[in-house]
Structures are given as structure tokens and as C-alpha cells.
């Protein structure tokens, strides 16, 4: 099982070894796709978590017990290759650099693994090649 979630930290939980515990105690593999972490303010992190269904559920319960807000990312961003004109507008708004220009052929590439489903590329695409699909 592999899922993407958003964890919203409160000021009191920011100094806890949360992702370490997910890996060590629940045998979950994670990738931090995006993070905004501040010492004295609310923070957020987008994780892609992989593991067995049972361990995933136990890990989510642990996060909830830590008084963290958990939001599943139940959408994926897709690109319609037949519509894309490789203008590059999407690359200018893609903070995790999932959309980038391949300098060899000057075409826009889409690295799904880096995508955090923020939908900014969907909003700016002039030819509507980007779209959202929900699970």
C-alpha cells in the first residue's frame, strides 16, 4: 500500500520525532514530498507512506494519538499528452519541481513521484492539459 497524506503540526508537536517513529515502530517507508516546518508556528508536511495495510493503519492511529491533523490526498494530477503544447507555464508554479523543462528537447516533463497534488498547474495550464482525478 502506498498513500499520500498531509500532516498538520501544532506548535506543541513540532519537536517530536514523528516520521522517525513511523519508520522504526510501524515499519513504514516514507518520502517527504513537501514540508513547511517552523519552530513556533503551525506547520505542515506532505508524506508518501508505503507499507502493509495493517502497519499503515497503526501509523495513522499513532499520528492521531499525537494530536496531529491528518488529511489523505485523494486526488492525482494527470497530464493529457495530446493536449500539452509544452509551453512551460506549469513549470513556473510547480514548487516541488514535478513539472520541469527537459533542456535536451525543450519539452515539459512530469515527474509524478514529486507531485504533491497542489493543483496549481491545473489552474494555470492555458490548454487545459492538466486535470485532477479523484480516487
pLDDT at 16: 79
Q: By three-state DSSP, how is residue 5 classified?
A: strand
Q: What is the pLDDT at residue 75?
A: 66
Convert 54-81 to b/e letters by CB count within 10 Å (16 or more is b). ebbebbbebbeebebeeeebeeebebee
Q: Could you tell me which residues come within 8 angstroms of residue 51 by beta carbon, excluding any fewer than 6 positions away? A: 1, 26, 27, 28, 29, 59
* DSSP code of residue 66: T
**82-94 pLDDT tens trace:** 999 999 999 999 9
What is 2-72's CATH superfamily? Answer: ACT domain (3.30.70.260)
pLDDT, tens digit (0-9, with 9 covering 90-100), for 27-83: 999 888 778 888 777 788 888 899 999 999 999 999 999 889 898 876 678 899 999
Residues of the chain with CATH 3.30.70.20: 75-134
pLDDT at 101: 96
Higher pLDDT pick, 43 / 125: 125
**pLDDT for 46:** 85
Question: CATH 3.30.70.260 occupies which residues in the chain?
Answer: 2-72
Does 103 score more than 60 pLDDT?
yes
Model confidence pLDDT, tens digit, residues 14-30: 677 888 999 999 999 98
Average pLDDT over residues 93-114: 91
Q: Which fold has domain 75-134?
A: Alpha-Beta Plaits (3.30.70)
pLDDT of 135 > 60? The answer is: no
Amino acid at each position: 500500500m502506498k498513500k499520500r497524506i498531509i500532516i498538520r503540526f501544532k506548535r506543541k508537536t513540532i519537536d517530536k520525532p514523528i516520521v522517525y517513529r513511523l519508520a522504526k515502530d510501524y515499519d513504514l517507508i516514507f518520502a517527504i514530498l513537501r514540508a513547511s516546518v517552523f519552530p513556533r508556528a503551525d506547520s505542515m508536511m506532505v508524506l508518501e507512506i508505503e507499507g502493509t495495510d495493517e502497519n499503515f493503519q497503526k501509523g495513522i492511529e499513532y499520528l492521531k494519538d499525537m494530536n496531529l491533523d491528518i488529511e489523505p490526498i485523494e486526488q492525482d494530477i494527470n497530464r493529457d499528452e495530446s493536449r500539452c503544447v509544452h509551453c512551460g507555464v506549469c513549470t513556473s508554479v510547480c514548487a516541488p519541481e514535478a513539472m520541469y523543462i527537459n533542456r535536451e528537447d525543450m519539452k515539459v516533463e512530469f515527474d509524478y513521484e514529486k507531485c504533491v497534488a497542489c493543483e496549481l498547474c491545473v489552474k494555470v495550464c492555458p490548454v487545459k492539459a492538466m486535470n485532477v482525478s479523484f480516487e
